[in-house]
Amino acid sequence: MSERLVVIGGDATGMSAASQARRLKGQEELEIVAFERGRFTSYSACGIPYWVGGDVDGPDGLIARSPEEHRKRGIDLRTGTEVTEIDTEGRRVRARSVDSGEEYWTSYDHLVIATGARPIRPQLPGIDAPGVHGVQTLGDGETLLASLRATAGLRAVVVGAGYIGVEMAEALIRKGYDVTMVNRAGQPMSTLDPDMGHLVGDAMTGMGITMVNDAAVTELLTGDDGRVRAVRTEAAEYPADVVVLGIGVRPETSLAGAAGLPLGPAGGLLTDLAMRVRGHEEIYAGGDCVEVLDIMSGSTRHIALGTHANKHGQIIGTNVGGGYATFPGVVGTAVSKVCDLEIGRTGLREKDAEAAGLQYVTVTIESTSRAGYYPGAATMTVKMLAERRTGRLLGTQIVGREGAGKRVDVAAVALTAGMTVERMTTLDLGYAPPFSPVWDPVLVAARKAVRAVAADHT
């Protein structure tokens, strides 16, 4: 007799899980039903800023696999269908057609919760006015593009200065907008230490972006037509023809929470290493709705990134399909760019290390992406945290131009392996003048970190 897998959410995790399970088990063994509230599946939300900026054709260009393609592969995909309740006792979910309102129960043997994240929308006056946009779904992208077409004005305010904020700033600059970023913190990119965030802020100011730091939005002002016309903070008012919210996201776990499933401190589902919801062998969860183990701190964190979502889906599908795979956790790697500025980070910031009870030394160096004499060699700044006494690498942050962002991958693998900065100094990294100075910038930082660890010892 065949089993049934039910998937809630038709994006990266859900459909990767469904596809991988289908690869391992045929239709006679496993029935797969997937519910998706919207009309798109398996799309790259991370591509929305580039679609808005005009670099990428959307929404079709951002869709890895359409509903029809999934159906052809033997997945009973039900778009426009929302799951409204999970009955863990009865092993069934209640689904509702968004259009018709029709409701029905579907039972499962295995359940995958892949409900993603929702953008944070602070309850401010004017937040729902036309011209104020989040950028989470392909629908959001369509709405924002329509809104940009609907106004002749070219003043954009981006609220929030995390990676979505900076990517949207680039998109709007490319479209010819004057961009103002309003940001609560003292500098953009709170995923970096403040000193490195300041470098990003300085570079963005150099690109002509007006950076407003230490500023909380209190109200969105609207014009006579009801459309947003300005962003107000306690100190000032910034005219805006369009406002983009890039304040961050929270795990979408209202359904899971209502079903009594375990949530962590950031509101995400808690799973074991096989991505099974803790205490529920038949329920899996992954992607933007879960918290992941941060290998460096030993705590769980919420990180909404497509690369994790895809890995989770793959692992869940393998396990549902009768194989075996686990997700050992993250070290916290992220890369982003704003125009020609590249930002990479992995591991712990100073405050993360402190929160984890780790003592550390930090060093910062400047180097170049290529041999200093080679054309296009661009300066980059590398900050490194190493543990006191042991010299174990704890984190690395890089801000620079071309070649800066992905260099952080070397540190990410070194973190995963638990390497000391001493061992890192002799890493056999690729060298040729067009690719790197004879000492790769990451190795230069490691050398300085070795000296800092030694000096701290004495």
> Rounded to the nearest whole angstrom, what is the least distance from the CB of residue 358 to a second copy in the complex?
18
Among the listed residues 116, 188, 286, 332, the single contact to a second copy using CB under 8 A = 332
Distance of CA 170 to the CA centre of its chain: 17
Q: Is 399 among the residues that bind a second copy (CB under 8 A)? A: no
Count, residues near a second copy per rule CB under 8 A? 68
Structure tokens at 352: 């993360």
Minimal distance in Å, beta carbon 31 to a second copy?
25
Is 55 near a second copy (CB under 8 A)?
yes
Q: Say which residues have a Cβ less than 8 Å from residue 68's Cβ, sequence separation at least 6.
A: none
- Asked if residue 438 binds a second copy (CB under 8 A), the reply is yes
Tell the smallest beta-carbon distance from residue 156 to a second copy (Å).
20
Residue 310 touches a second copy, criterion: CB under 8 A = yes
- Answer for which of 98, 335, 356, 378 binds a second copy (CB under 8 A) is 335
DSSP line for 249-284 = EEE--HHHHHTT--B-TTSPBPB-TTSBBTT-TTEE
Torsion sign across C-alpha atoms 48, 50, 55, 56: negative
Q: Does 166 bind a second copy (CB under 8 A)?
A: no
Least distance to a second copy, CB of residue 429, Å: 5
Give whichever of 61 and 208 is closer to a second copy, judged by the CB atom: 61
Instruction: Classify strands 210-212 and 178-182 as parallel, antiparallel or unpaired.
Output: parallel
Q: Who contacts 75 (Cβ-Cβ below 8 Å, separation ≥6)?
A: 15, 18, 19, 22, 32, 34
Question: In this chain, which stretch among 69-77, 87-95, 226-234, 339-347 interacts with a second copy, using CB under 8 A?
Answer: 339-347
Q: For residue 46, indicate whether it is catalytic.
A: yes
DSSP, res 334: E
Q: In one letter, which amino acid is 74?
A: G
Residue 301 within binding range of a second copy, rule CB under 8 A:
no
Please tell me the total number of residues recorded for the chain in this structure: 458
| H or E, element range at 368 | strand 360-368
Kindly name the residue from 7, 30, 46, 259 that is annotated as catalytic. Answer: 46
Is 378 among the residues that bind a second copy (CB under 8 A)? no
The two three-digit tokens of residue 180, written as one number: 């103002």
Q: Retrieve residue 158's tokens.
A: 């981006």
Active site amino acids? 46
Positions touching a second copy (CB under 8 A) are 12, 44, 46-47, 50, 55-57, 61-62, 163, 167, 305-308, 310-311, 314-315, 326-328, 330-337, 342, 344, 346, 371, 373-375, 403, 405-410, 412-414, 416-417, 419, 423, 425-436, 438-440, 447
